[in-house]
A = this chain, B = another copy of it.
C-alpha cells in the first residue's frame, strides 16, 4: 500500500463508525478499523491519535468556523446576533455531516468515556468563542455567558435535529430553541 491514500481519513472515519455501530465502541480495535478501510494501522495513526478521536475529528473545524463567524460579524452586531452567527455556522457544518450524525450520536451516548470527551470539547469550544467575544469588546461575564448560550442552544438543538423524522434544518431548529430561551429569560 502506498504512502498516499486519497480520502484515507474519510475511509477510516466511515469504517470506524460502521464498526462502532455494529460491535460497540469498546469492542472495536484500531486494527479492525484499518482493515475495514483497506488500510494499515500505521496509516490510521497518521490521521488519528487514537480510536476515540476518529469521532471528534470534525469538532476542530466546527469550532474554527463558529469562532470565525463571531470574528466576521458586523461591528454593530449585538451579543444575540453573535450567538445567532455562531449557530448558523454550526448549522452549515452539521448539515454537511447529517448522514453520519445519528449513528455518531448513538455511539457517543453508549460510552461514558466518549460522553466525557464530548463535554470537554464543548467546554473548549465555549472558551474559544468567549475569547473571540472578548476581542470583540465584550467583558468577561458577557463573553462567557454568550459563549455558553451558544453551546447550550447547540446541544439542545442537536438532540432534536438528530432524531427529527422530518429532517428539519438545524438552523431553523436552532432559531426556535434560541427563541424559547429568550422567552424563558424574558418572563417576569
Q: Which of B144, B152, B159, B186 contacts A182 (CB 8 A)?
A: B186
Q: Could you say which of A80, A140, A145 has the most chain B C-beta atoms within 10 Å of its C-beta? A: A145
A180 CB contacts on chain B under 8 angstroms: 141-142, 145
A70 CB contacts on chain B under 8 angstroms: none
Q: Which of B123, B160, B185 contacts A185 (CB 8 A)?
A: B185
In Å, the complex CA distance between A142 and B149 comes to: 14
Contact A187 to B116, CB < 8 A, known contacts A141-B180, A177-B141: no
Q: Is the CB of A188 within 8 A of B78?
A: yes
Q: Is the CB of B152 within 8 A of A184?
A: no
Q: Is the CB of B160 within 8 A of A141?
A: yes
